[in-house]
């Protein structure tokens, strides 16, 4: 009796699985690859559980995507599906890159592609030091996995009730001055000027306006920044440099440490450093007058504070949301990110786009994986074999899929924006180039 | 064969130990091996820190200690602000914890009913069992707003906003870090000073009382002076813990490496800087952070060593 039930249920699940595979195929941009959720008994027998870690920008995504993938795979492959994939460790972008190079992570995630050069200096010169394959940029594939925006979260309780409808608007020059320590008070002229709605209006008896005064409080601006090296900082700094180049032209140093760029190491004296996206959000929440940059999902999912409208290249005041981030990514369709034969990724920056309704501070996060696992011993704690490499390829392939059952749908629920079709194509091309012992992986 | 030398005239017990020594050989070897192993671990450990720090030490030399700007990624790497903040937060913690801790120790020994003593003592010792990250969260969630809304405005009003209670009132500050540390080191100070005060000879106390001294006179002028060496040891052990505390400090100090201009200013200690930056550090930054670890190790090791010497002297039987 029980057996029959399981059997029928299994068939139903398999049918559902097939349908879902079809759905994914239909939604995917490329016909050569689509979400592969099939695992055989041989896969299940080889005990594969490769570890992943890196950018905290991606944490809400991966930690939802990994269990979802296992669930989806079990619908298709039953007990052969991976059931013990470990969760993602949000150790930071640089640690993600170090981890994948050292082989402690199978997937290292970073908001800045491995091997990126800023102002003539490679960010990863001290990671990619050796002459062996592990230290050669060309040994890795880099896959854009999520698209996210960086929000400017602020804590001004005095505006909460009366001006709830009018979030504070900021532009790049104000942001640069705030993080430079040149603007020190919230009712600074420059901030008041672009927030004409946030005013206390006095009217006479006839209803005529006699005075209107900036209602932004006269309290210090407390810039909160990332004290650790950070990909989120990179995106934010990239934006400030592209828009306020003259003020932010640094001759040396890396953009992952904001303090390097702010006044040659002198962050404002009242600035607060915090660890990871969650730390910045927590510091802003605890400090009246604070402003900090965090990934959209942290604003959306965990916190109740508003984020500022940002003036984009068209002069529009744009709120941070999925549509405005998507508009920004769409503006770069003509120059898709690409990885050359040496492994260098170009055109990955999508800050300050020129689209209409474009939220200008956004970026992709990248999954970095060894292209060929043959002879690697262990990768991310798992034995480096065809099964474990294929699992990672299948997982990433599912991650970049749109549609109802693809990984990008999970991303949507977590405050990210589904990858635009032109970027999915780039990602799939990368995944398709993975091989084991120089033989291309087979993904259904 | 056996190198165990014994006095010429052996007692029965010594004779028996000597005779059984041969059969106990594997056992003694195991014990010695274990001791040597951990000795070796410490040496290797110190060596690896020195080894990692060496490039930074040779490149920057004494500027590592005297430089007043710490900028990860590009340099300069000057630990002066970090050293200052480390010492300052520890000093604040001691200023608060030492009087409170001594008072608590005296209370536990002399001033509350005997049957309540062990219960009260275990409550204080429970503070030591709280993981430091919990102190950090508590500081972040509850003390930060309390400090910025209540304590800092109060102190500033009290002193007319003059030094050292001037500057931005953000909650996150060296003051808050010191406050959290003071609670964290309290159990150490209470437990050890209770032990050293406990061995103050009874005759001294009775002598004081029989000469007509009041209870407070005896406690302050007889007991505390008699136990002072040990109390210094307790303070030094507390300081050792405060100097090296990492995560709780990192969560409340504001992680802004700067020379403090007041008690309200944000800062970063040696330990908190290592904790916040090591994960993402590469190359020179990593090496400079190892140099910080080296400084911290030297400071805490010497403080702990001093404390050990003092407490040992104090609790040794007269």
Residue B23 has pLDDT above 70, yes or no: no
Residue B138 has pLDDT above 70, yes or no: yes
Which of B73, B268, B286 lies closest to A253 in CB terms? Answer: B73
Query: Are the beta carbons of A369 and A434 closer than 8 angstroms?
Result: yes
What are the φ and ψ backbone dihedral angles of A440, each rounded to 5 degrees?
-60, 140
**Residue in this structure with the two tokens 């003020």, named with its chain if needed:** A247
The predicted structure's pLDDT at residue B86: 96
**pTM for this entry:** 0.80
- How many angstroms separate the Cα of A441 from the Cα of each of A34, A387, A438, B189? 13, 10, 9, 63
Which of A125, A253, A286 lies closest to B283 in CB terms? Answer: A125
Compute the average pLDDT of residues B6-23: 62
Residue A405 has pLDDT above 90, yes or no: no
Which of B69, B279, B284 lies closest to A228 in CB terms? Answer: B279
* Distance between CA atoms of residues B109 and B195, nearest Å: 9
Strands A382-383 and A378-379: antiparallel
What is the SS3 assignment for A280? Answer: helix
Name the β-bridge partners of A417.
A147
Give Cα B238 distance to the centre of its chain. 4
What is the SS3 assignment for A163? Answer: coil
What residues of chain B lie within 8 A of the CB of A279, using their CB?
251
Count of domains forming chain B: 1
Contact B145 A94 (CB under 8 A): no
Whether the CA torsion A148, A154, A160, A164 is positive or negative: it is negative
Q: What is the CATH number of the domain that holds B168?
A: 1.10.3720.10
Contact A227 B256 (CB under 8 A): yes
DSSP letter at B111 equals I
Q: Which of A152, A189, A185 is nearest to A167 (CA)?
A: A152
Q: Is residue B4 part of a domain?
A: no
Q: Which of A141, A139, A130, A18 is nearest to A76 (CA)?
A: A18
Which of A94, A252, A270 lies closest to B74 in CB terms? Answer: A252
The predicted structure's pLDDT at residue A21: 40
Q: Is residue B166 part of a domain?
A: yes
- Looking at chain A, the whole-number percentage of residues with pLDDT higher than 90 is 35
The predicted structure's pLDDT at residue B72: 77
Q: Is residue B137 part of a domain?
A: yes
The pLDDT confidence band at residue B284, using thresholds 50, 70 and 90, is confident
Q: Which of B135, B136, B249, B237 is nearest to B190 (CA)?
A: B237
Q: Is residue B255 part of a domain?
A: yes
Least Cα separation, residue B291 to chain A (angstroms): 18
Contact A266 B281 (CB under 8 A): no
Compute the average pLDDT of residues A214-234: 87
* Distance between CA atoms of residues A102 and A434, nearest Å: 19
Q: Is residue B6 part of a domain?
A: no
What residues of chain A lie within 8 A of the CB of B279, using their CB?
91-92, 94-95, 228-229
- Our CA dihedral for B85, B88, B93, B98, rounded to 10 degrees, sits at 150
* Distance between CA atoms of residues B93 and B188, nearest Å: 12
Could you tell me the domains of chain A?
3-148+329-348+362-440 (3.40.190.10), 151-327 (3.40.190.10)
- In the stretch 195-224 of chain B, residues with CB closer than 8 A to chain A read none
Residue A74 has pLDDT above 90, yes or no: no
Task: Please enumerate in sequence order all residues whose Cβ is within 8 A of that of B42, keeping only pairs 6 or more positions apart, or say none.
Answer: none
Name the β-bridge partners of A199.
A214
Compute the average pLDDT of residues B26-30: 88
Query: Are the beta carbons of B217 and B208 closer than 8 angstroms?
Result: yes
Which of B71, B168, B279 lies closest to A259 in CB terms? Answer: B71
* Distance between CA atoms of residues A285 and B261, nearest Å: 25
Question: Which token pair is A64?
Answer: 């939802």
- In the stretch 45-74 of chain B, residues with CB closer than 8 A to chain A read 69-74
Q: How many CB atoms lie within 10 A of CB A161?
A: 7
- How many angstroms separate the Cα of B205 from the Cα of each of A349, B197, B202, B222, B227? 76, 11, 5, 7, 12
**Residue in this structure with the two tokens 């994960």, named with its chain if needed:** B279
Question: Which token pair is B186?
Answer: 């309290």
Q: How many CB atoms lie within 10 A of CB A211?
A: 10
Residue B217 has pLDDT above 50, yes or no: yes
Range of B98's domain? 67-315
Q: Tens digit of pLDDT for each residue in B187-207?
A: 999 999 999 999 999 999 999
Contact B168 A257 (CB under 8 A): no
Least Cα separation, residue A272 to chain B (angstroms): 5
Q: Is residue B44 part of a domain?
A: no
Q: Is residue B35 part of a domain?
A: no
Q: Is residue B62 part of a domain?
A: no
Give Cα A242 distance to the centre of its chain. 19
The answer to whether A267 faces chain B, any CB pair under 8 Å, is: yes
Contact A253 B277 (CB under 8 A): no
Rg (CA), chain B: 25
The answer to whether A100 faces chain B, any CB pair under 8 Å, is: no
Q: Tens digit of pLDDT for each residue in A21-48?
A: 433 333 333 333 456 788 887 777 765 6
Question: Counting one residue from A and one from B, how many pairs have CB atoms under 8 Å apart?
Answer: 112
């Amino acid at each position: 009796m029980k057996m029959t039930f399981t059997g029928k249920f299994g068939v139903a699940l398999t049918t559902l699985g097939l349908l879902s595979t079809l759905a994914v195929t239909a939604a995917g941009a490329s016909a050569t690859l689509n979400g592969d959720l099939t695992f055989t008994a041989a896969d299940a027998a080889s005990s594969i559980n490769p570890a992943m870690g890196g950018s905290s920008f991606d944490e809400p995504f991966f930690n939802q995507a990994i269990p979802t993938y296992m669930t989806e795979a079990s619908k298709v492959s039953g007990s052969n599906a991976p059931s013990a994939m470990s969760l993602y460790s949000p150790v930071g972008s640089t640690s993600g890159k170090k981890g994948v190079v050292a082989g402690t992570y199978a997937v290292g995630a970073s908001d800045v592609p491995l091997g990126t050069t800023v102002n003539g200096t490679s960010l990863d010169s001290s990671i990619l030091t050796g002459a062996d394959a592990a230290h050669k940029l060309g040994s890795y594939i880099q896959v854009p996995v999520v698209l996210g925006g960086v929000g400017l979260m602020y804590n001004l309780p005095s505006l909460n009730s009366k001006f709830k409808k009018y979030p504070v608007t900021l532009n790049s020059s104000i942001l640069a001055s705030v993080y430079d320590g040149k603007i020190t008070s919230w009712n600074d002229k420059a901030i008041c000027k672009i927030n004409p709605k946030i005013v206390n209006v006095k009217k006479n008896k006839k209803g005529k306006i006699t005075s209107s005064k900036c209602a932004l409080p006269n309290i210090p601006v407390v810039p909160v920044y990332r004290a650790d090296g950070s990909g989120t900082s990179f995106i934010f700094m990239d934006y400030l440099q592209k828009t306020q180049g003259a003020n932010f032209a640094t001759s040396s140093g890396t953009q992952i440490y904001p303090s390097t760029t702010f006044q040659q190491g002198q962050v404002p004296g009242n600035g607060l450093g915090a660890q990871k996206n969650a730390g910045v959000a927590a510091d802003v929440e605890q400090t009246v007058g604070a402003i900090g940059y965090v990934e959209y999902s942290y604003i959306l999912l965990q916190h109740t504070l508003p984020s500022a409208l940002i003036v984009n290249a068209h002069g529009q005041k744009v709120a941070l949301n999925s549509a405005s981030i998507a508009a920004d990514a769409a503006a770069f369709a003509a120059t898709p990110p690409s990885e050359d034969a040496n492994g260098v990724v170009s055109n990955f920056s999508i800050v300050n786009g020129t689209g209409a309704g474009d939220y200008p501070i956004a970026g992709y996060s990248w999954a970095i994986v060894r292209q060929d696992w043959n002879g690697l011993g262990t990768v991310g704690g798992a034995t480096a074999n065809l099964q474990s490499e294929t699992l990672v390829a299948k997982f990433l392939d599912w991650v970049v899929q749109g549609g109802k059952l693809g990984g990008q749908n999970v991303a949507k629920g977590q405050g990210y924006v589904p990858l635009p079709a032109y970027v999915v194509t780039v990602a799939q091309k990368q995944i398709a180039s993975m091989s084991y012992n120089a033989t291309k992986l087979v993904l259904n | 064969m056996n190198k165990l030398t014994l006095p010429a005239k052996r007692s029965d017990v010594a004779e028996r130990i000597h005779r059984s020594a041969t059969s106990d050989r594997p056992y003694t070897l195991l014990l010695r091996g274990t001791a040597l192993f951990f000795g070796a671990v410490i040496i290797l450990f110190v060596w690896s820190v020195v080894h990692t720090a060496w490039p930074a030490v040779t490149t920057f030399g004494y500027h590592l200690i005297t430089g007043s700007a710490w900028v990860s990624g590009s340099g300069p790497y000057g630990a002066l602000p970090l050293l200052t903040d480390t010492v300052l937060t520890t000093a604040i913690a001691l200023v608060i914890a030492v009087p409170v801790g001594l008072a608590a120790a005296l209370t536990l020994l002399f001033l509350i009913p005997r049957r309540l003593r062990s219960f009260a003592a275990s409550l204080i010792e429970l503070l030591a069992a709280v993981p430091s990250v919990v102190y950090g969260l508590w500081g972040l969630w509850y003390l930060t707003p309390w400090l910025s809304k209540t304590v800092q405005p109060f102190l500033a009003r009290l002193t007319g906003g003059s030094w050292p209670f001037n500057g931005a009132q953000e909650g996150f500050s060296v003051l808050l870090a010191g406050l959290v540390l003071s609670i964290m080191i309290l159990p150490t100070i209470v437990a050890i000073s209770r032990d050293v005060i406990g061995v103050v000879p009874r005759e001294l106390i009775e002598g004081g009382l029989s000469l007509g001294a009041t209870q407070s006179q005896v406690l302050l002028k007889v007991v505390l002076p008699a136990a002072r060496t040990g109390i210094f040891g307790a303070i030094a052990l507390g300081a050792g813990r405060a100097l090296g505390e990492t995560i709780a400090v990192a969560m409340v100090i504001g992680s802004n490496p700067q020379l403090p201009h007041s008690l309200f200013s944000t800062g970063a200690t040696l330990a908190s800087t290592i904790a916040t930056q090591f994960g993402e550090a590469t190359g020179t930054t990593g090496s400079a952070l190892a140099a910080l670890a080296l400084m911290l190790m030297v400071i805490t090791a010497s403080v702990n060593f001093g404390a050990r010497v003092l407490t040992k002297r104090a609790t040794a039987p007269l």
